[in-house]
Structure 1
Amino acid sequence: MKQNKSTLQEKIARLRASFVSQLPKRLEEAQQHLQLLKADPCMNRVAAVELHRTFHSLKGTGYSFGFNELAGIAGEAESYTQQLLDLPDDKTPPDWPDKIIGLLQELASQAQILIYTDLQHDHPLQTPFFEMESSAQEDTSLPEKPSRLIYICDDEEDQVTHLSYQLRCFGYQVEYFTQLQAFEAAVRQHQPDAVVMDVRFPSGGTAGTEALASLQKIIGEQLPTVVLSGRDDFEARLSAVRAGCHAYFTKPAKPLELATALDEVMEEEVFEPYRILIVDDEPEVAQYHTLILEEAGMLVYQLSQPGNVLAALQEFRPDLVLVDVYMPDCTGQELAAVIRQLPEHLSLPIVYLSSETDRQKQFSAMQVGVEGFITKPVIPEELVAAVALRAERMRSLRSLMVRDSLTGLYNHTTTTELIESALAQARRQQESLCMVMLDLDHFKQVNDTYGHVSGDQVLLALARILRHRLRSNDVVGRYGGEEFAILLKDVTPEKAVELVNQLREDFSRIRFGSGDKEFYCTFSAGISSFPAYNRAEELRIAADQALYKAKSQGRNQVKLDDGNE
């Protein structure tokens, strides 16, 4: 029963999200109907009826989903539009457009609030809001990701102090303890996200890992732990294993390697459900397959009209398409051929789901570039396995196509596309954007002096800081070589300079090692902003010019482009 309730809640949440995502389009259509009414002195009744219907639908659906403020405004607009419909044309009040315009503006404001607080998706809306006379007050705050809390327990205070300092540069919140009793008391009061534990303490050769094991039994929970110890013998390593520690480092450890291990032990496996598009002209059959896949945790979008597939591909962004072979208006083979005409969907898995058992016909139908053939009636476990396998392969392929192989950041092509998309959204939503071009200082000297392996470590460290310290909706990409591009959303240029300067200072304090040599690195950055620059290429050129100024004036600094100074 509990599972059924959870499933129902998920379905309601998806319906709410779908309603919110359609608000911009519906309000734009209402604005178009209003324009028709204003242009027609005889009050075009078709447009008036459509406008009334829009308000009525927004009111009813809004109340159903609990969006009471939006529904209340829509209800007021519905009542007023009904009054206009009831009046003779010659009795229409002269100021009627102003009232509807005001109500549409209120609806647009409510829709924006819902999009940011209820929908929480990361892809740009495809339809713009209409222009409003007054713009929303700009939010100059810059929320950051919450820092992970790390406890370090080690009786060598000098080493602990330095290590804490280094880990803070990577964005962790760090507290350290030199006594086991203080560490145990802190854990009992507030558990950390991860622990860095030494093995040897004055009270015993493996006192640290033994205390950790005892503490975990008491609290009834395994703490994500990395061992950092001066001991490198079997007994010490065995004690770490018995305490359930996840990684073992000997002193002195490289901060980047330790940070990488901490990330791994704290990694929460957040699985994004596979997105499956089902195209079948029999709704009951499609619903049956949908329930099977949804029970396995997948998100499913049903489509009974093949003519709507292009819109569904764009809006739903499926990982796989299940297609019936025999449909009256468009066969599965024809539909697959249409999908394959689109370059962006050449690699999208398409699987036939049909009662056809003739092998020759199956083979013929697959010649348009289809992944496989699942025969109805399906065995639920086999359907789930077949879909999951192909969808996962699709995701892996997409990841390889959009990510830089070394740093894991977006590659040049994807970064450029995301910047273009974010800029288009900023124009629609009247948001501010800041673009940052960032370049490592004297990076060639690092490679020449310490080797390319050390150079890669520098790139990885910078990528890790950018990925951990910036928000998930910001665009962070490796633009090429030692150059990185960042797009900060909904921030002022001044806030962007403040943030990038903090990142620059923290990065400059990270210690890198090559053999017995230690070194530090810095970077320079240039920042431009929208709407000072309206096109992506203009933004990039302005940020590049500011970056050039930062390098020519001594490096290790952040410069704002001339248009913002």
Structure 2
Amino acid sequence: MQSIVIVDDETIPRKIAEKALKDKYVVSAYADARTALSELTVTRPNLLLVDLHMPDMDGYAILNEIRQLEDHELSNVPVVIMTSDDDAKNEIKGFDLGAYDYIRKPLLPDVLIRRVDRIMKGEETLKHLEKKAEIDILTGLLNRSASIQQINENLKMRRESGLLLMMDLDHFKLVNDRYGHEMGDKVLSLVANTLKKFVRSDDVLGRIGGDEFVIFYRGFWKDEALQERCEEICGAVKRVVAETLQTSKMQFGISIGVSSSPKNGLDFLSLYQKADEAMYHVKSGGKGGYFVYNEDDEEEKAEANIISLESIQKRIENRDFFPGAYMVDYNDFCSIYHFIKRSGERGHIPVQMVLFTVEESEDVDRRGLEERMQAFGELLSQTIRRGDVVVRCSNKQYMILLVGTEKENSLIAIDRVMQKRSEEEKRKYPIHYEINTLIS
């Protein structure tokens, strides 16, 4: 039930207002303004009815003090001034200070009830719209602006210890490239639901970018507890992504950078910059883990950013990590094309370019075509040799670069791809190809 606070030093109008509203609302009535203000954090009203003329503190002073509260919710509560004064200048002054409305005295119960009902309904609608504006539609989490605002409010009001976890999905671009954006959206939604399991009601969880998430934990955390929590998050995200994509070969996971308040800052931006720097060390160190920012330990940070040559070589040679050909976007493909062409010409390495084009038949719908194009791209990347390159260059075309392959052998590779297509696919989505020898 919504609540109302009434502040009026006159007994009769205070009693009239309380009696008229108590059947529909939780009503707290005060004769003293100071007492009413001191108990706002307890009553937390949805509306204040304040008398304009009172001996110790008038309605303007109450209004001004409320608007300066650090509690965002209380500082924005609607304040309605009750007065028998019909001076327009006083009314303008009240509106300038942030009054929501005026109600004339003497109070008429039926008019008062209807006026308050209208205000409450309007505020309810406004709060609903504000809530919708704060939510990321895809994941249901707080969006970037709402996350920043709530974290800053926590830091400003409470001035206590806290942790900021900056999280970024590893290899997420590969999910979109290989499985399509619809699957990418599904992964983001599932990751968001997974992260919800690791926050309390007074923590802040939001999506602040494409595949970037943030958690603000209130209070002090011991190193062991933080380590356990980060490892739990990493493991849970890795499992849910692997189960969704039905693969254990590709190492999709999450990298976490951690900063702490007040040590690393007292506002979101300061903490974000430190956490982002910590996350960079995880990314550069191989991804899939966490790192706590510590500006007093430069040696430790440097070590986190160093990878042995043996470790790098193992990652590059790990055939499970990128099975088949490399699937890249068009901009990357252009860079790779020029590099391969230049290197191939110098080393006399043969390179073949193959363009596959899907021919639409009359009974094919656009959605079906897109699904088959994504499936064909997956088939190419898994069938063509590791080290070759695949790119989707239009809504009906894929191109591949076959490195170190003569034209005759490239025909064998193409035939291997075509043989893996079903008869129905060949009938509904016939494909023709063109071969161009880039370097012979």
| TM-score normalised by L of structure 2 | 0.50
- What is the deviation of 1:506? 1.6
Partner of 1:281: 9
Instruction: Tell me whether 1:472 sits opposite 2:201 in the alignment.
Output: yes
8 A contact 1:320–1:391 mirrored in 2: no
Instruction: Tell me whether 1:494 sits opposite 2:224 in the alignment.
Output: yes
- What is the deviation of 1:540? 3.2
Partner of 1:483: 212
Partner of 1:446: 175
SS for the counterpart of 1:395 is helix
Matches within 5 A, 1:413-428: 413-423=145-155
Q: Classify 1:419/1:328 alpha carbon distance in 2 versus 1 (closer, same or farther; 3 Å).
A: same
- Between the aligned partners of 1:291 and 1:464, the Cα distance in structure 2 is 46
C-alpha root-mean-square deviation of aligned residues, in Å? 4.6
Matches within 5 A, 1:108-187: none
- Between the aligned partners of 2:80 and 2:43, the Cα distance in structure 1 is 17
- What is the deviation of 1:547? 1.0
Q: Which residue identity is paired with 2:276? A: D
- Between the aligned partners of 1:407 and 1:275, the Cα distance in structure 2 is 32
- Between the aligned partners of 1:508 and 1:439, the Cα distance in structure 2 is 12
Instruction: Tell me whether 1:399 sits opposite 2:131 in the alignment.
Output: yes
- What is the deviation of 1:409? 2.9
8 A contact 2:3–2:47 mirrored in 1: yes
- What is the deviation of 1:530? 4.4
Q: Which residue identity is paired with 1:459? A: L
SS for the counterpart of 2:235 is helix
- Between the aligned partners of 2:141 and 2:24, the Cα distance in structure 1 is 30
SS for the counterpart of 2:287 is coil
- Between the aligned partners of 1:411 and 1:302, the Cα distance in structure 2 is 38
Partner of 1:528: 259
Partner of 2:141: 409
The structure in which a higher percent of residues are strand is 2
SS for the counterpart of 1:286 is helix
8 A contact 1:411–1:477 mirrored in 2: yes
- What is the deviation of 1:511? 5.2
Instruction: Tell me whether 1:377 sits opposite 2:108 in the alignment.
Output: yes
Q: How big is each residue's C-alpha offset from its partner over 1:410-448, in whole Å with a ceiling of 9 and x where there is no partner?
A: 3434434444454467766xxx53321111122333334
- Between the aligned partners of 1:542 and 1:365, the Cα distance in structure 2 is 45
Partner of 2:274: 542
Q: Classify 1:347/1:457 alpha carbon distance in 2 versus 1 (closer, same or farther; 3 Å).
A: farther
Q: Which residue identity is paired with 1:409? A: L
Which deviates the most, 377-386 or 334-343?
334-343
8 A contact 1:404–1:411 mirrored in 2: yes
8 A contact 2:162–2:261 mirrored in 1: yes
Give the aligned length. 286
The structure in which a higher percent of residues are helix is 1
8 A contact 2:135–2:141 mirrored in 1: yes
Partner of 2:79: 350
Q: Classify 1:541/1:315 alpha carbon distance in 2 versus 1 (closer, same or farther; 3 Å).
A: farther
Q: How big is each residue's C-alpha offset from its partner over 1:132-170, in whole Å with a ceiling of 9 and x where there is no partner?
A: xxxxxxxxxxxxxxxxxxxxxxxxxxxxxxxxxxxxxxx
Q: Which residue identity is paired with 1:444? A: K
- What is the deviation of 1:525? 0.6
8 A contact 2:191–2:240 mirrored in 1: no
Partner of 1:76: none
Q: Which residue identity is paired with 1:399? A: K
Alignment partner of 1:388 out of 120, 142, 156: 120
Q: Which residue identity is paired with 2:171? A: H
SS for the counterpart of 1:509 is helix
Q: Classify 1:339/1:526 alpha carbon distance in 2 versus 1 (closer, same or farther; 3 Å).
A: closer
Q: Classify 1:351/1:407 alpha carbon distance in 2 versus 1 (closer, same or farther; 3 Å).
A: farther
Q: Which residue identity is paired with 1:494? A: E
| TM-score normalised by L of structure 1 | 0.41
Partner of 2:284: 552
Partner of 2:237: 507
Q: Which residue identity is paired with 2:230? A: V
- What is the deviation of 1:561? 3.1
5+ residue gaps, structure 2, are 301-440
SS for the counterpart of 2:173 is helix
- Between the aligned partners of 1:465 and 1:290, the Cα distance in structure 2 is 47
Q: Which residue identity is paired with 1:289? A: A
- What is the deviation of 1:348? 4.3
Partner of 1:321: 48
- Between the aligned partners of 1:362 and 1:426, the Cα distance in structure 2 is 37
- What is the deviation of 1:544? 1.9
Q: Classify 1:406/1:532 alpha carbon distance in 2 versus 1 (closer, same or farther; 3 Å).
A: same
SS for the counterpart of 2:226 is helix
Q: Which residue identity is paired with 1:558? A: Y
- Between the aligned partners of 1:447 and 1:283, the Cα distance in structure 2 is 67
8 A contact 2:156–2:266 mirrored in 1: no
- Between the aligned partners of 1:405 and 1:453, the Cα distance in structure 2 is 14
- Between the aligned partners of 1:286 and 1:399, the Cα distance in structure 2 is 33
- What is the deviation of 1:494? 2.3
- Between the aligned partners of 2:285 and 2:117, the Cα distance in structure 1 is 59
Q: Which residue identity is paired with 1:396? A: H
- Between the aligned partners of 2:141 and 2:19, the Cα distance in structure 1 is 36
Q: Classify 1:314/1:465 alpha carbon distance in 2 versus 1 (closer, same or farther; 3 Å).
A: same
Q: Classify 1:399/1:276 alpha carbon distance in 2 versus 1 (closer, same or farther; 3 Å).
A: farther
Partner of 1:434: 163
5+ residue gaps, structure 1, are 1-272
Q: How big is each residue's C-alpha offset from its partner over 1:506-533, in whole Å with a ceiling of 9 and x where there is no partner?
A: 222225899xx75685211122334653
8 A contact 1:349–1:394 mirrored in 2: no
